[in-house]
Structure 1
Amino acid sequence: MPDPQPVSAPAPTPTPELPPRPASVAQGLFAGKVAIITGSESGIGRETARALCQQGAAVVLNGRNATRLAQTHQEFERAGLRVASCVADVTDYEACETLINTAVQTFGRLDILVTNASISQRAYFADMQPQVFRQVLDSNIYGTVYPLKAALPYLTHTRGSVTFISSISALNGMPSGSAYCAGKAAVANLAHTLRLELAHTGIHFGVVHIGFTQNDPDKRVLDATGQPVPIAHRPPRWQKTQAEVASIILRHIRRRRQRTVISALGMLIALVHTYFPRLGDWIVLATIRRLRHFYE
């Protein structure tokens, strides 16, 4: 087998003059680092971006909703945080090139990429329109592949960190989530493959499996016909706050971990799926009969 070919590293870009930051931010754990968080106009992505900024990083915010993205950008700037923003659909490769260029042209480098943007669903496979299945799958797979592909030369230059946001639903099948589960499982396997292929680059590739998390009130997922609907019911006692999840993601990045499973439920699912898969299936089938609203 031929030796892997190195990825060409770009020349460093001079960092433009930026307003001074508060001393507490300038001395944070991620001081001097530049990050891109896809899907950071709202939700977990927004709180992860906020946490990174508060720990000294400069962050490029991203989303498809220009109004919401501008609101988040303004909120961060008012708090004295270093941010830029880029409206970009991460399933469009040219848009991802623009997103990466925003970071490099604004802050001079790229150290951290978190691929958080994705679409979820509430629909059984037999009812789903094929184009809806593809839309969900594309958002999870190409929404991860395209930003990384565009960012790879810069991350190679800085021996940076890449974190794919997956889900505990990737650890074991979840009824009414076929496309979402398939996409999140693919992302986890992609990280493992890249860790082997690109070991010579020194880039960190990790996966965070998110558990049940409190969502923004207007959070929507797709139904079988592609219409936006509220997410399925989740007992509040099972949910972590977005800030708690963001803190765990930062710890994962700082420690350059390969895999992080969030919540006791997530770790239980991983354990049962690995060692007692039939028991795991029995539990899921039992909950479909007794707690159908949990999935619908």
Structure 2
Amino acid sequence: MSDLHVPDSSTLLQQPTRAKATAAQPGHFAGKVAIVTGSESGIGRETARALCEQGASVVLNGRNPVRLEQTCSSLREAGFLVTSCVADVTDYADCQRLISTALHAFGQLDILVTNASISMRAYFADMEPEVFRQVLDSNVYGSVYPLKAALPHLIQSRGSVTFISSISALNGMPSGSAYCAGKAALSNLAHTLRLELLDTGIHLGVVHIGFTQNDADKRVLDATGQPVQIAHRPPRWQKTQVQVAHIILRHIRRRRQRTVISALGHLILLVHTYLPRLGDWVVRTTLRRMRHFYE
């Protein structure tokens, strides 16, 4: 999830002169150019770093210019070829500018990872309609707009698109209505686009992420739209951001249609597919006995 502070979306960081994409070091993605949205922090940052380690040139993105520049500088100091663009991915003009940044800096585009999104913890009956819209927009249009702007270039390169979804999209989660709806929409979007774009050679995939360790300052929205701490998850249930990033890279490398992360995610998928009533019973039971888990 990107930072909730929204600066002037016209700000553009690190706009270097155009150069042919060259890898800082050899790797599977040597010579490739990637955009990772929401990569100023968290999973997006570590995915960008992992792509760099495998030889890609990477365009970083976020809405907080200070944090974005810190991440960009850190990766440059490590010897990686990166640039950055402050852009709100729910704004189509910003997304066009984000794609232009990649083309101006590196001359091509091969990989798009739509990671930026906003999460929430609030029961539907309590939510302000505007908060629901904000969360849904970030999770749906936050993938639709970057892809729409990037599509001609990704078709030209027969590139790869990965939507970052969640295991909560597989069966729903109380107190996460807007987030779950948005993440679930990405699966059908990817499926539909695969059918439409079958002859182009473009890869369209979805990664359903499970519980992951978060940055200490990560926040989600409550019913009124105020940023609050994310619900507690036992550490033993969580993967590190680095582990998740490497799973995302394996998904891209193998051009998979769907990747579900964690044993819990696979269990949810299995139960939802074959024993949906059991799945609902488990959720209702945990909601009664472990309400703090959802809040």
Is the TM value for this pair above 0.5? Answer: yes
Task: Give aligned-pair identity as a percent.
Answer: 78
What is the deviation of 1:173? 1.1
Note if contact 2:119-2:221 (Cα within 8 Å) is conserved in structure 1.
Answer: yes
Who is 2:88 aligned against? 89
Give the CA deviation at 1:109.
0.2
Q: Tell me the equivalent position of 1:294.
A: 293
Matches within 5 A, 1:73-222: 73-222=72-221
Superposition pairs for residues 230-245 of structure 1, below 5 Å? 230-245=229-244
Q: 1:250 Cα deviation (Å)?
A: 0.2
Give the conservation status (yes or no) of the 8 Å contact 2:21–2:32. no
Partner of 2:10: none
> What is the rounded CA distance, in whole Å, between the counterparts of 1:207 and 1:89 in structure 2?
21
Query: What are the residue-to-residue correspondences of 1:45-56 with 2, within 5 Å?
Result: 45-56=44-55
Unaligned segments of structure 1, at least 5 residues: 1-13
Q: 1:18 to 1:247 in 2, by over 3 A?
A: closer
1:265 aligns with 264
- Cα deviation for residue 104 of structure 1 reads 0.6
- Residue 255 of structure 2 aligns with an amino acid whose one-letter code is R
Structure 2 letter corresponding to 1:209: H
User: Shift in Å at residue 15 of structure 1?
Assistant: 5.5
- Equivalent-residue separation in structure 2 for 1:148 and 1:20 (angstroms): 24
1:113 counterpart SS class: strand
In structure 2, stretches of 5+ residues that fail to align are: 1-16
Q: After TM superposition, where is structure 1 displaced by more than 3 Å over at least 4 residues in a row?
A: 17-20
Indicate how the Cα distance of structure 1 residues 56 and 75 shifts in structure 2: closer, same or farther if over 3 A, else same.
same
Please state whether the residue corresponding to 2:225 is helix, strand or coil.
coil
Partner-residue secondary structure (3-state), 1:95 = helix
Distance 1:108 1:168 in 2: 35
Per-residue deviation, residues 80-121 of structure 1 (Å, max 9, x unmatched): 011010000000000000000000110010000000000000
Alpha-carbon distance between aligned partners in 2 of 1:19 and 1:196, rounded to the nearest angstrom:
33
Cα deviation, residue 20, structure 1: 7.7
Cα distance in 2 for partners of 1:36, 1:202 equals 19
How far did 1:200 drift?
Answer: 1.1
Structure 1 pair 254–133 and aligned structure 2 pair: CA distance change class (3 A): same
Task: Name 1:16's counterpart in structure 2.
Answer: 19
RMSD of aligned residue pairs (Cα, Å) = 1.2
CA distance in 2, matches of 1:156, 1:143: 20
Q: Is the 8 A contact 2:219 2:228 kept in 1?
A: yes
| 1:64 equivalent in alignment to 2:63 | yes
Q: What's the TM-score once normalised by structure 1's chain length? A: 0.93
Amino acid at match of 1:279: L
2:200 maps to a residue whose letter is T
Which whole-Å CA distance do the structure 2 matches of 1:226 and 1:202 have between them? 41
Secondary structure at 1:49 match in 2: helix
Distance in 2 (CA, whole Å) between partners of 1:161 and 1:18 is: 17
State the 1:16 CA deviation: 1.5
Distance 1:104 1:18, change over 3 A: closer
Q: Matched residues in 1 for 2:256 and 2:23: separation?
A: 32
The CA deviation string for residues 43-100 of structure 1, in whole angstroms up to 9 with x for no partner, is 0000000000000000000000000000000000000011010000000000000000
Q: What is the count of residue pairs matched by the alignment?
A: 279
Q: Structure 1 20/239 Cα, relative in aligned 2: closer, same or farther at 3 Å?
A: closer
CA distance in 2, matches of 1:90, 1:191: 18
